[in-house]
Chains A and B, each alone.
Chain A
Amino acid sequence: MIKITVLLVDDEVPFVETMTKRLTKRGLTVFTAFSGNEALKQLKEHKNMEVVILDVKMPVMDGIDALQEIKKQFPLVEVVMLTGHATVETAIEGMKLGAFDYLMKPCDMDILISKMKEAATKKREHEEKIIEARINEIALRRSY
């Protein structure tokens, strides 16, 4: 199992705590944040963050604002939106803004993990491609 570094963002503290325990038990590295701003701070501190699980409905800075901010500052980090049914439209809007996918609460653990895996894989592929490109660039530069 690949070790994925996740940031869990939700204003529901018990939900975040339990989720953290369960994900940690499944071998994921979990960071938590209870608001959009906190999430951005965490992302700044931990550059190796791969996937963000982001609740759509949060006070102060809602999911969409947080998503836009994350995508602006950390374009490579993949975001999975977490939503209630009433906010499906918001989640879809989030996908248009660059979210990887959305899931409905309460979500099945297996589905959540597989989604995160996909997201992490995508992120790693992106990174690999970027590195490859850089290597190529550097290689070409040297050979030139």
Chain B
Amino acid sequence: MENKKKSNEQYYKSLTKKLVLRIIIGALAPMMIVSAIILEQFHSAYTEKVHAHLGELVLKHKQNIDCFLVEKLNDIQFLSKSFNFEQLSDEAFLQKRLTSLRKEYNTVFVDLGVIDENGLQVAYAGPFKLLKAVYSEADWFKNAIKSRYFVSDVFLGLRGHHHFIIAVRQNWHGKYWILRATIDFMAFNSLVENLRLGKTGFAFILNKEGKFQTKPLRDVVPDACLNYIKDKNNSQNGIYILDKKDQNGKKKIYVISFLKNGDWLMVFQQDMADAFSELNRSQMIAFFIIIFASISIITMAFFFSKKVVKRISRTDREKNMMNQQVIETGKLASIGELASGIAHEINNPVAIMVEEAGWIGDLLEEEEFHKSENLDEFERAIQQIQTQGKRCKAITHKLLSFARKTDSRMQDIQINDLITEMVVLSEQRAKYSNVTIKTDFKKDLPSIMASESELQQVFLNLINNALDAMDKNGGTITVATRLENSSIVIDFADDGSGIPIPNLARIFDPFFTTKQVGKGTGLGLSICYGIINKLGGKIDVKSAIDIGTTFSIWIPISTSSNNESK
């Protein structure tokens, strides 16, 4: 039994475990999969969106800058074409032109200069004293003299300030000369500086050598972008998007575009975390929601499994109990059937034996046997055979009545009426024993669903027991009904001899009897117990020696109809 209990406990434990696991897997897996898919989709969609947005932004600025450069170039070109070398070599005239340009375009143009083909600045208008400066060795001059126009990279030059130059080459009497304008670095820078996004997004311009053309807001290692651009050509509208880690291990996104016919690169750089901050935030939220959901699912799984297993174990227990009851009832029923068969078969031979013995008895009465000295013994033996035959008869009759099937159909029963019926049946016997049966009914009791014949059996058994408990002097039996909560309570009280305490605990046990051998089967009360139990009620006994015994039966009103459906 102990072992069984242990293995049961283990079984329920493993059942709980299995349930928990299944619930967790069953609930979490779809959630995880769905979340993963959604997050993935969202991630790629958002990435695409960010890329597109950044690309658009960079493209627009690229066009802006290109525009700016072309515009400035056009201005200078126009200026150089409108006037000849001689006119522009006049410093006062040049100063006038510069003033009008500055008026037109704010302070974008810092100065103007006219340079002859040897690199000598023959005229200059501007804040610096650069007249007669020689540019023959300057890179920009070397480039500018070779082509019709030239826009230089940003450099410090003679003045020690960041600036770049727009130079236009013209011909004057077979000799090249150059009109150059210096573009204010700050003005140009502001074009790029304006391109800012989030906390870390900013743009800068590099030339082909990787030198900054604008002032970057932060430290940037520009090589990465350059290497990348050299490697790959997969651009969209000339926009390159690149994700890379910097030397600190921070992930950054670079958006790159060519400027100035591929001379310059405009790079927009932003920390990945910053660019995708919204995505990260929503991912964070999703992550927390998933964690929270998982925790609650796991808790629920544990809680729910425990509850379910508890329930299962309870129903198992009940089922076991019921099975045992069914087995026991089945056993009793088969014993009953066997008994009735035996009783039937034995009854006839016993009857014949008794008759034969009677016949011998008859013969013994004849004259000739009277002389026999053993006549008394013969008669005694015959008498004994007859007595024992009668005993057999009594036993078989009891067996037969025990085996008789009862009608266990459920029907509406008025308890009071049924008790009255049983009391009337018992009154004859009660009269012989000098006992009066009193009834004390509560009126208008609700009807209950039960088997009539089973309840008859219970009531009759209890009344019979009460009658048996009375001695020769007689007494009173009181049958009372009352309502208690949702149960009908029936008390069978007698003022008989009472039941000794040691017996009190055993009176509902089958085959327990205090009656003489052959007088009682010891089944009456255990049958009552079974019947009342089946109805969902209970039966109890209180007894005091020489004062009396009270049997009380509780039959539930509400649940009795449920029992029927079982």
Binding site for B on A (CB under 8 A): 12, 14-15, 18-19, 21-22, 25-26, 84-86, 104-106, 109
Give the 9 A-B CB pairs with smallest separation, nearest first: A106-B351, A85-B397, A106-B354, A18-B355, A86-B400, A105-B351, A85-B400, A15-B352, A84-B347
Q: Name which of B249-257, B356-364, B478-486 contacts chain A.
A: B356-364
- Check if B19 is an interface residue, CB within 8 A of chain A: no
Q: B396 touching A85 by the CB < 8 A rule? A: yes
CB distance from A23 to the nearest CB of B (A): 10
With a 10 A CB-CB cut-off, give which of A12, A18, A19, A109 has the most chain B CB atoms. A18
Collect the chain B residues with CB atoms within 8 Å of residue A84's CB.
343-344, 347-348, 396, 400
Q: A12 touching B397 by the CB < 8 A rule? A: no
Q: Return the CB mask of B409-451 against A: 1 if under 8 Å, else 0.
A: 0000000000000000000000000000000000000000000
Collect the chain B residues with CB atoms within 8 Å of residue A21's CB.
359, 362
Please name 15 pairs of A and B residues whose Cβ atoms are closer than 8 Å in the assembled complex, sorted by A: A12-B352, A18-B352, A18-B358, A18-B359, A19-B355, A21-B362, A25-B362, A84-B343, A84-B348, A84-B396, A85-B401, A104-B397, A105-B393, A106-B351, A106-B393
Chief secondary structure at chain A's binding surface: helix
Q: B355 touching A104 by the CB < 8 A rule? A: no
- Give the residue of A22, A85, A104 whose beta carbon is less than 8 angstroms from that of B359: A22
Q: A15 touching B362 by the CB < 8 A rule? A: no
CA distance in complex: A18, B362 (Å): 11
CA distance in complex: A101, B83 (Å): 159
Count of chain B residues near A, Cβ 8 A:
22
- Give the residue of B343, B356, B358, B362 whose beta carbon is less than 8 angstroms from that of A85: B343
With a 10 A CB-CB cut-off, give which of A19, A84, A104, A109 has the most chain B CB atoms. A84
Assuming A12-B352, A15-B352, what are 4 further A-B pairs, CB within 8 angstroms? A21-B359, A84-B400, A104-B393, A106-B355
- Check if B340 is an interface residue, CB within 8 A of chain A: yes
Q: B356 touching A18 by the CB < 8 A rule? A: yes
Q: B362 touching A14 by the CB < 8 A rule? A: no
Collect the chain A residues with CB atoms within 8 Å of residue B359's CB.
18, 21-22
- Give the residue of A15, A25, A86 whose beta carbon is less than 8 angstroms from that of B355: A15
CA distance in complex: A12, B404 (Å): 24
CA distance in complex: A21, B362 (Å): 9
CB distance from B424 to the nearest CB of A (A): 18
With a 10 A CB-CB cut-off, give which of A14, A21, A84, A106 has the most chain B CB atoms. A106
Q: B343 touching A105 by the CB < 8 A rule? A: no
CB distance from B367 to the nearest CB of A (A): 13
- Check if B389 is an interface residue, CB within 8 A of chain A: yes
- Check if B69 is an interface residue, CB within 8 A of chain A: no
CA distance in complex: A14, B351 (Å): 10
Q: B343 touching A22 by the CB < 8 A rule? A: no
Q: Return the CB mask of B350-390 against A: 1 if under 8 Å, else 0.
A: 11101110110010000000000000000000000000011
Nearest A-chain residue to B365, judged by Cβ: A25
Collect the chain A residues with CB atoms within 8 Å of residue B354's CB.
106
Q: A105 touching B347 by the CB < 8 A rule? A: yes
Collect the chain A residues with CB atoms within 8 Å of residue B347's CB.
84-85, 105-106
Collect the chain B residues with CB atoms within 8 Å of residue A104's CB.
393, 397
Collect the chain B residues with CB atoms within 8 Å of residue A109's CB.
358
Q: B358 touching A105 by the CB < 8 A rule? A: no
Collect the chain B residues with CB atoms within 8 Å of residue A22's CB.
355, 358-359, 362
CB distance from A134 to the nearest CB of B (A): 41
Nearest A-chain residue to B403, judged by Cβ: A86
Collect the chain A residues with CB atoms within 8 Å of residue B401's CB.
85
Nearest B-chain residue to A86, judged by Cβ: B400
Collect the chain A residues with CB atoms within 8 Å of residue B400's CB.
84-86
Which positions 500-519 of chain B face chain A at CB distance < 8 Å? none
Nearest B-chain residue to A84, judged by Cβ: B347
Q: Return the CB mask of B187-207 against A: 1 if under 8 Å, else 0.
A: 000000000000000000000
Nearest B-chain residue to A82, judged by Cβ: B351
